A and B are shown apart, each in its own frame.
Chain A
Amino acid sequence: MHGKVFVGQSVKRLEDPDLLRGQGQFLDDLALPGMLQAAFVRSPFAHASFSHIDTATAAAAPGVVAVLTAADLPAEMREKRILLQVPNPAISYPVTQMPLASKEVCFVGEAVAMVIADSRHRAEDAAEQVIVDWQPLPAAAHCVDALKPNAPVVHSTMKDNLAGRFSLGFGDVDIAFNHADHVFSARYDTHRGTGLPMECRGVAAVYDVVGDGLRVWTSTQTPHNTQRGLVDMFDMAEDKVRVITPEVGGGFGPKNQVYPEEMMVPVAAKLLGRPVKWVEDRREHFMTTTQERDQVWDVSVAVAASGQILGIKGHLIHDAGAYLPWGIIMPYISASTLPGPYRLPAYRMDVSVAFTNMVATTPMRGAGRPQAVFVMERLVDLIAHELRLDPAEVRDRNFITAAEMPYSMGLTYRDGAPVIYDSGDYPEAQRRALAGAGYADFKARQATALAEGRYLGIGIGNYVEGTGLGPFEGATVRILSNGRVAIYTGATPAGQAHRTILAQICADQLGIDITAIDVVLGDTGVMPRGAGTFASRITVNAGSSVQIAAQQVRAKVLALAAAKFGVAESDLELADGLVKITGAQGDRISFAELAKMTSGMPGYVLPQGVMPDLEASGYFTPPQATYSNGSHVAVVEVDPETGMVTIDDYVVVHDCGNVINPKLVDGQVQGGVVHGIGNALLERMVYDDDANPLTTTFADYLMPTAEWAPNCRIIHMESPTPLNPLGVKGAGEGGTIPVPAAIVAAIENALQPFDVRFDSCPITPQMIVAKIHATAQ
């Protein structure tokens, strides 16, 4: 073995030097000769029909090359909708967007025409001159109202707004409720806002007339899904459509769909025979990039006198928005995440998915889980409140223990496999989080503060998160003839430092430094199959594939060197790009020489059974999700006069199995928590009663800034999973998931003297003041 080990070390990121110098190549930095710029004409109404679009004035404007409407599209695209990524028989109306709406728009911002000009300024000038004969229609603006009889229909072709309906559960809920000492019920509203990567979306495309091929660059989390969408839309062979992601300036989920612009820019490039680019502006982003927001849960919990939970039942209404690009995955994840770390004997959740005249909702950091965790943790706090028990104690009495692992929940997860928690110690995670926050003496601190007129509160948020979903993410490892090592994968980074992580894994297998490795990511041209960056799945899937492929390359290097030197493989060692005979002087061969020999060097005969090239590909296919977990404790101070909440302390116990790079995991957790603080206290995407979005700037929609961000104290636990060769679990979303639950509990705890309850998030200062006043009257 070589001396240096990279896995488990906080090595510095390979990505940093370029990004710090402003040399990162993002989508809008792409400039090709003759490139045209596009702007879209979008609906100002949440619901409207139209029959005529007058493009004549716009088409004659300076610099305009073309104005396209649905009627101008090639015959094979007309009335065709974008591929639905995840079909499901429970979906009533499997409707996705068209590249351009042809006669009806169903949310503000839906595109009806595309203007292509020689500059973006001119394209936007001309877009204002496109005239559409809008006929406004009534709109459905809230998911609960949308399911009521006689609600306005979201799509005029539908008889109602029920997008899908399903139930899931286990055990006998009736028995549980009949035998309960107590039954408590509540309605919870959750609101998640939107993902808001700092880089908006963008697409560029070139059509190659000679090869009849499309090359598409897009700021996406999932180039292979975009490729599948294009192949389906254009009915082209897969090898004629290459999708490449440049640096992606943040994803957080919303860049994990196939968007209409990703169809329109390529078709324009093909029709016009010139490169075309479109970059979304922030207002378009607030209107047209998918969000994840409203769920309304009516739930009841059956409890024994001891505080032991006997059963939970209820009804969840999920807002799908106007289309279903991701089907009904999110409410499914929500409903199957609800039980969390607690032993639940009986469970039944009836789920209704409602269309509304707003932009579609799709998975965003946490993907349905923050809502479920909010509901479950609020229920546990409700039990504690009603039974006058300590909230931590109620959790302790209901935890699944480490001795019960693997623990079968009795549910089927969204990957089709049963929900089986693979590893973790939930009681210990909470114990460490409470110890970290000084829970034992908190009541004394709280009393002291109260005597000074200060309102301190503490809250707990526990969660279990299915991560690392399959079906696979592939990787190829190749030693190049210059001796450097290349890793190719379809995985697409958006800040997670996949290059560094995958290089760490590969370096350990091949005995080289991570700086000797080049990682090529997010290009369908180098990796024919891939799923994408979502569900905290890349280290699990691509990482395991790199490990498998690198092990195969290592075996091949050893076999070839052993044959050359006439020694046993066990006599060889790999170090710094060389194969040496252990203990011997002089006998060594470099990776570069081996790579040249095996890549077709005349006169060199490969040993029997050895294929050319020092290359191997791995496609790790996980048998099921692997379940990360954690426990968050928030300490807040609330000013009852102004409603202002200050976060005094935030402790995170985080268990994502084996940690490849602790500093990177800390970064994911810290960033995730601050995203969660936005969800808990700040971020509200407001629509009016006609479904018009009202918060379409960063001045209206508040995101956490540095003054809101606590310095989280992060405590790692490592419960390796047996489900992949690295023993790793996902780490990208856990930071966000339990934050609203912990912070809202802490606010409620701080305001105990006022006896107020909070059943929704985000909680704004106005809401706190209003609640205190309402309770006082």
Chain B
Amino acid sequence: MSEAEITRAITFTVNGAVTDMHVEERFSLADMLRHCLALTGTHLGCEHGVCGACTVLVDGEAIRSCLMLAVQVDGSDVTTIEGLADEDGRLNRLQQAFSDHHGLQCGFCTPGILMTLSAFLADNPAPDEGHLREALSGNICRCTGYQGIVDAVMDVVAAPAAKAGQ
């Protein structure tokens, strides 16, 4: 094993499950989630922190998992796209709104956008459209032209209490 491959033991929570593991120090959080835990819903679009596809929540904050080292989540609470729907797989309000308003096409950037917006709406439950677009501007989507995403979020903002499927 070369120096670059030194591992370290970490303990953290991912989508509610406590996880102990040894991880290479050089692994990004995205690499660890995808390759060590098979949580492949977190996608890598650029690996230089611009496109936002790899966004996950660490202690409730949206972060780019391509720019964070896996060892940095030791002791933290991580939520990925796999943690948004309930245990029966029922989509949450925001996910359902994306389907209702054609907020995704190829779906590759979608997990990162959902995680960014989850954190944003937790802090800003009633944004106006300009504020929303600013918050969304750190995520690149080549397919949708963003309008379906904006419509989905504004729908959630207008009726936050409504449950999926109702």
Interface residues of A (CB under 8 A from B): 12-13, 15-17, 19-26, 28-29, 31, 62, 121, 125, 195-200, 247-250, 252, 281-282, 494-497, 663-664, 666-667, 670-675, 697-699, 703-707, 709, 711-712, 735
* Interface residue? B134 (CB, 8 A): yes
B106 touches A22 (CB 8 A): no
B108 touches A198 (CB 8 A): yes
CB contact under 8 A between A199 and B104, given known A16-B98, A706-B137: no
Partner of B104, one of A20, A282, A670: A20
What's the nearest-Cβ distance from chain B to residue A215, in Å?
Answer: 20
Binds A, one of B70-78, B80-88, B155-163: B80-88
What's the nearest-Cβ distance from chain A to residue B149, in Å?
Answer: 7
Most buried by A among B26, B39, B140, B148: B140
A672 touches B45 (CB 8 A): no
A24 touches B107 (CB 8 A): yes
| Residue in chain B with minimal CB distance to A497 | B105
What's the nearest-Cβ distance from chain A to residue B13, in Å?
Answer: 18
Most buried by A among B106, B134, B147, B149: B106
B50 touches A699 (CB 8 A): yes
Within 8 Å CB of B138, what residues of A? 705
* Interface residue? B63 (CB, 8 A): no
B108 touches A22 (CB 8 A): no
B91 touches A706 (CB 8 A): no
A671 touches B41 (CB 8 A): no
A706 touches B150 (CB 8 A): yes
Partner of A22, one of B24, B82, B136, B139: B82
Partner of A198, one of B99, B136, B142: B142
What's the nearest-Cβ distance from chain A to residue B33, in Å?
Answer: 10
A671 touches B142 (CB 8 A): yes
Partner of A712, one of B4, B89, B110, B147: B147
B110 touches A711 (CB 8 A): no
Instruction: State the CA gap A660–B1 with chains docked (Å).
Output: 57
Within 8 Å CB of A494, what residues of B? 106
CB contact under 8 A between A495 and B111, given known A17-B91, A125-B4: no
Q: Mark B23-47, 1 if CB is under 8 A from A, else 0.
A: 0101100000010001111111111
B48 touches A247 (CB 8 A): no
Partner of B133, one of A17, A675, A703, A706: A706
Within 8 Å CB of B40, what residues of A? 22, 25-26, 28-29
Within 8 Å CB of B132, what residues of A? 706
A21 touches B89 (CB 8 A): yes
Within 8 Å CB of A24, what residues of B? 41, 107-108
Within 8 Å CB of B146, what residues of A? 674, 705-706, 709
Instruction: State the CA gap A120–B157 with chains docked (Å).
Output: 42
A15 touches B107 (CB 8 A): yes
| Number of residues of chain B lying within 8 A (CB) of chain A | 61
What's the nearest-Cβ distance from chain B to residue A751, in Å?
Answer: 26
What's the nearest-Cβ distance from chain B to residue A550, in Å?
Answer: 25
Minimum-distance CB pairs A-B, first 10: A22-B41, A249-B108, A19-B107, A495-B106, A495-B105, A22-B81, A674-B145, A698-B50, A670-B145, A29-B40
Within 8 Å CB of A664, what residues of B? 102
B99 touches A17 (CB 8 A): yes
**Which secondary structure dominates where chain B touches chain A?**
loop
B105 touches A667 (CB 8 A): yes
Within 8 Å CB of A125, what residues of B? 2, 4
What's the nearest-Cβ distance from chain B to residue A288, in Å?
Answer: 15
Partner of A12, one of B80, B99, B134: B99
What's the nearest-Cβ distance from chain A to residue B126, in Å?
Answer: 18
What's the nearest-Cβ distance from chain B to residue A735, in Å?
Answer: 8
Other A-B contacts than A24-B108, A199-B43, 12 sampled, CB-CB below 8 A, are A12-B100, A15-B107, A20-B107, A20-B114, A23-B82, A199-B45, A252-B142, A698-B51, A699-B50, A709-B147, A711-B147, A712-B147
CB contact under 8 A between A121 and B102, given known A26-B108, A706-B149: no
| Residue in chain B with minimal CB distance to A200 | B45
* Interface residue? B18 (CB, 8 A): no
B47 touches A281 (CB 8 A): yes
B142 touches A31 (CB 8 A): no
| Residue in chain A with minimal CB distance to B147 | A670
* Interface residue? B109 (CB, 8 A): yes
Partner of B144, one of A28, A248, A671: A671
What's the nearest-Cβ distance from chain B to residue A263, in Å?
Answer: 24
Partner of A62, one of B1, B106, B141, B145: B1
| Residue in chain B with minimal CB distance to A247 | B107
Within 8 Å CB of A197, what residues of B? 106, 108, 142
CB contact under 8 A between A697 and B147, given known A19-B110, A22-B81, A121-B24: no
Partner of B43, one of A62, A121, A249: A249
* Interface residue? B58 (CB, 8 A): no
CB contact under 8 A between A697 and B46, given known A20-B110, A674-B146: yes
A-B contact pairs, 11 of them (CB 8 A): A13-B102, A15-B107, A22-B80, A29-B40, A198-B109, A671-B142, A697-B48, A697-B50, A698-B140, A699-B48, A706-B134
Within 8 Å CB of B5, what residues of A? 62, 121
| Residue in chain B with minimal CB distance to A119 | B35
CB contact under 8 A between A666 and B133, given known A19-B107, A20-B110, A249-B108: no
Instruction: State the CA gap A87–B93 with chains docked (Å).
Output: 52
Instruction: State the CA gap A672–B82 with chains docked (Å).
Output: 30
| Residue in chain B with minimal CB distance to A62 | B2
* Interface residue? B53 (CB, 8 A): yes
B143 touches A19 (CB 8 A): no
What's the nearest-Cβ distance from chain A to residue B125, in Å?
Answer: 19
Partner of B106, one of A23, A247, A698: A247
Within 8 Å CB of A16, what residues of B? 98-99, 104, 107
* Interface residue? B95 (CB, 8 A): yes
B143 touches A663 (CB 8 A): no
Most buried by A among B53, B81, B105: B105
B114 touches A250 (CB 8 A): no
Within 8 Å CB of B91, what residues of A? 17, 20-21
Instruction: State the CA gap A712–B145 with chains docked (Å).
Output: 9
What's the nearest-Cβ distance from chain A to residue B84, in Å?
Answer: 7
Within 8 Å CB of B50, what residues of A? 697-699
Instruction: State the CA gap A664–B145 with chains docked (Å).
Output: 13
CB contact under 8 A between A707 and B48, given known A19-B107, A20-B110, A495-B143: no
Instruction: State the CA gap A282–B81 with chains docked (Å).
Output: 22
Within 8 Å CB of B46, what residues of A? 282, 697-698
| Residue in chain B with minimal CB distance to A15 | B107
| Residue in chain B with minimal CB distance to A121 | B26
A707 touches B137 (CB 8 A): yes
B43 touches A20 (CB 8 A): no
Within 8 Å CB of A697, what residues of B? 46, 48, 50
| Residue in chain B with minimal CB distance to A671 | B145
Within 8 Å CB of B53, what residues of A? 198
Within 8 Å CB of B145, what residues of A? 667, 670-675, 704, 709, 712, 735
Partner of B48, one of A26, A282, A674, A675: A282
Within 8 Å CB of A709, what residues of B? 133, 145-147
Within 8 Å CB of A195, what residues of B? 142
B48 touches A698 (CB 8 A): yes
A199 touches B106 (CB 8 A): yes
Q: Mark B91-123, 1 if CB is under 8 A from A, else 0.
A: 100010011101011111111001000000000
Within 8 Å CB of A17, what residues of B? 89, 91, 99
What's the nearest-Cβ distance from chain B to residue A81, in Å?
Answer: 31
Instruction: State the CA gap A121–B6 with chains docked (Å).
Output: 13
Instruction: State the CA gap A200–B147 with chains docked (Å).
Output: 24
CB contact under 8 A between A666 and B107, given known A20-B91, A706-B149: no
